[in-house]
């Protein structure tokens, strides 16, 4: 029997490009190169147990966290490939303090921010991990040459594309170029991503809540009231919600996107660093906020701001992140702002 034909991700990208006669094909080219990097990382992740790439690299990153070998490997894979793709002018990565220049003569009109390996604490224990990316146009498309930090410090609302790859029970790529959210599953036997989840919409109400409850003593009272509320029984209202927390943002987000849920990494007072949350704006919160808004959900900080509207001030800035089904994000905002 013939295999079903399937829509490859390159076919999908070219078809959407065709709807825009003004498109130059540069964004398509950028995405295609990034997808090759993702396939390379996926292959490494699957080999990890065999190929001696598990464990610590011995280095500490600028966030003070120990860097796992796979973090380094994923970072280098993306950096090396994208520096010569010809479509971007500057990059930033969770693993590097400074901006990452591209190869001379290869400068293009886009910028790239990425978290090469999300969920580092899950690498060694065979739990899902991921990669996150965010793409902006450089501030002035008339400018040429190397991009600057200023080109990277742009708010989420102006992203031209954002997405993630989840290395889970299968490898999936989910992304948006502002025309809905589409999911592709890697068929490892042919090395291609095929469209498996066209036009994903998040269910309007959450089935799951995802938060690290070990941080309860460091939360503020309004948040505690909300978490008590979602755990209280009210069958007609669909409560209690079920708890799910993987500790890999990509995986927690993906599950909630497909099944309906709310993910929270609020600010807490465990230590000074976490007073503005844990997750990073440019390559964690902002790309997911773009995707969730395209999927009909919402992303906020909990102190009255929408993630997509935050003007970034530094490359590795942290923000509180509350993201997921719209009804539930609205509700938690009411709790946090003292409106209920
Ligand atoms: P990273 O592995 O890129 O440093 O990110 C880890 C993040 C995120 O994936 C996850 O949601 C969160 O850290 C988990 O933090 P806690 O262990 O504090 O719950
Ligand atoms: Mn991360
Ligand atoms: Mn990471």
**Interval 120-135 mean pLDDT:** 94
Distances (CA, A) of 150 to 111, 138, 164: 10, 9, 24
Could you read off the pLDDT of 282-296 as tens digits, one per residue? Answer: 999 999 999 999 999
Q: Which of 248, 250, 274, 281 to mutate to test the pocket of ligand 1 (most atoms within 8 A of CB)?
A: 248
180 lies in the same domain as 161: yes
Query: Which pLDDT belongs to residue 61?
Result: 72
Give the atom of ligand 1 at the shortest distance from the alpha carbon of 248: 9
What pLDDT does 242 receive? 98
pLDDT of residue 333: 98
Tokens of 165: 């790859």
Residues 153 and 216 in one domain: no
**pLDDT over 80 (residue 96):** yes
- Give start and end residues of each alpha helix (H) in the chain: 9-18, 26-47, 69-83, 149-152, 221-231, 249-259, 286-294, 326-336
Q: What local confidence, expressed as pLDDT, does residue 147 receive?
A: 97
- Pairing mode of beta strands 321-324, 129-137: unpaired
- Does residue 280's CB lie within 6 angstroms of at least one atom of ligand 1? no
Q: How far apart are CA 286 and CA 314, in angstroms?
A: 13
Domain boundary among 197, 217, 233: 197
Whether 165 and 243 share a structural domain = no
Residue 45 to residue 340: CA distance in whole angstroms: 45
Answer with the one of 152, 174, 197 that is the final residue of a domain.
197
How far is residue 147's CA from residue 72's CA, in Å, rounded to a whole number? 23
In a domain, 2, yes or no: no
Residues 115 and 284 sit within 8 Å (Cβ to Cβ): yes
CA dist 321 and 227 (Å) reads 15
With 70 as the cut, is the pLDDT of residue 317 above it? yes
203 found inside a domain:
no
Residue 61 is part of a domain; what is its CATH number?
Answer: 3.30.540.10
**Count of structural domains within the chain:** 2
Q: In degrees, to the nearest 5, what angle opens at C-alpha 229 toward C-alphas 223 and 230?
A: 95
Question: Per residue in 72-86, pLDDT tens?
Answer: 999 999 999 999 999
Decide: residue 205, CB within 10 A, 0-12 exposed, 13-18 middle, 19+ buried. Answer: middle
143 and 102, same domain (yes or no): yes
Whole-number Å distance between alpha carbons of 82 and 241: 41
The answer to whether residues 85 and 179 belong to one domain is yes
1 found inside a domain? no
Taking all residues of the chain, what is their mean pLDDT, rounded to a whole number?
Answer: 94
The reply to whether 4 falls in a domain is: no
- Predicted confidence (pLDDT) at residue 50 exceeds the cutoff of 70: no
The pLDDT-based confidence of 2 (bands split at 50, 70, 90) is: confident
Examine the pLDDT at 33 and tell me if it is beyond 80.
yes
pTM for the whole thing? Answer: 0.95
- 23 CA from centroid of ligand 3 (Å): 32
130 and 187 share a domain?
yes
Take atom 17 of ligand 1 and give the residue whose Cα is closest.
Answer: 247
Ligand 1 pocket member 251 (CB < 6 A): no
> Ligand 1, atom 15: nearest CA belongs to which residue?
247
β partners of residue 300: 306, 322
Of all protein residues, the one whose alpha carbon is nearest to atom 11 of ligand 1 is 249
Clarify whether residues 247 and 120 are in a common domain.
no
* Phi, psi (degrees; rounded to nearest 5) at 104: -60, 135
- How large a percentage of the chain has pLDDT more than 90? 85
Both 215 and 165 in one domain: the answer is no
- Is 264 in a helix, a strand, or coil? strand
CATH code for position 227: 3.40.190.80
Section 287-312 average pLDDT: 98
Domain contains 276: yes
Q: Cβ(63)–Cβ(96) under 8 Å?
A: no
* C-beta of 68 in contact with ligand 1 (< 6 A): no
> What is the number of alpha carbons within 13 Å of residue 101 lying toward its C-beta?
5
- Write the pLDDT tens digit of every residue in 177-210: 999 999 999 999 999 999 999 999 999 999 999 9
Mean pLDDT over 231-254 rounds to 98
**Structural domain contains residue 3:** no
Whether residue 330 contacts residue 302, with contact meaning beta carbons closer than 8 Å, is answered with no
- Say what the pLDDT of residue 63 is: 72
Residues 73 and 151 in one domain: yes
> Could you give the count of Cα atoms lying within 13 Å of 310 in the half-sphere of its Cβ?
26
- The pLDDT value recorded for residue 67 is 62
| 36, two tokens | 């090759």
Domain membership flag for residue 241: yes
Q: Whose CA is nearest to atom 3 of ligand 1?
A: 118
For residue 153, what are the domain limits?
Answer: 9-197
Same domain, yes or no, for 21 and 77?
Answer: yes
Q: Say if ligand 1 is within 6 A of residue 118 CB.
A: yes
């Amino acid at each position: 029997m013939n295999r079903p034909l399937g829509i490859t991700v390159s076919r999908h990208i070219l078809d959407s490009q065709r709807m825009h006669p003004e498109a130059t094909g540069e964004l398509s080219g950028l995405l295609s190169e990034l997808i090759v990097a993702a396939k390379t990382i996926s292959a490494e992740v699957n080999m990890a147990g065999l190929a001696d790439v598990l464990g610590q690299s011995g280095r500490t990153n600028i966030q003070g966290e120990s860097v796992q070998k796979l973090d380094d490997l994923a970072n280098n894979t993306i950096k090396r490939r994208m520096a010569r793709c010809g479509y971007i002018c500057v990059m930033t990565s969770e693993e590097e303090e400074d901006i990452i220049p591209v190869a001379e003569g290869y400068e293009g009109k886009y910028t790239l921010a990425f978290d090469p390996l999300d969920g580092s604490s899950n690498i060694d224990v065979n739990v899902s991990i991921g990669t996150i990316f965010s793409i902006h146009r450089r501030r002035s498309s008339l400018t040429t040459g190397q991009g600057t930090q200023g080109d990277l410090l742009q708010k989420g609302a102006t992203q031209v594309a954002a997405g993630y790859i989840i290395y889970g029970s299968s490898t999936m790529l989910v992304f948006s170029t502002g025309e809905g959210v589409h999911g592709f599953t890697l068929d490892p036997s042919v090395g291609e991503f095929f469209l498996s989840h066209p036009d994903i919409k998040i269910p309007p109400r959450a089935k799951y809540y995802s938060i690290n409850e070990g941080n309860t003593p460091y939360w503020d009272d309004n948040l505690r009231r909300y978490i008590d509320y979602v755990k209280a029984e009210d069958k007609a209202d669909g409560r209690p919600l079920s708890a799910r927390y993987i500790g890999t943002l990509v995986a927690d987000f993906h599950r909630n996107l497909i099944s309906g849920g709310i993910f929270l990494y609020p600010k807490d007072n465990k230590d000074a660093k976490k007073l503005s949350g844990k997750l990073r704006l440019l390559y964690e919160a902002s790309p997911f906020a773009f995707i969730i808004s395209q999927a009909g959900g919402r992303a906020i900080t909990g102190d009255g701001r929408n993630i997509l509207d935050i003007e970034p001030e530094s490359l590795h800035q942290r923000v509180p992140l509350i993201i997921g089904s719209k009804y539930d994000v609205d509700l938690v905002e009411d709790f946090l702002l003292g409106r209920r």
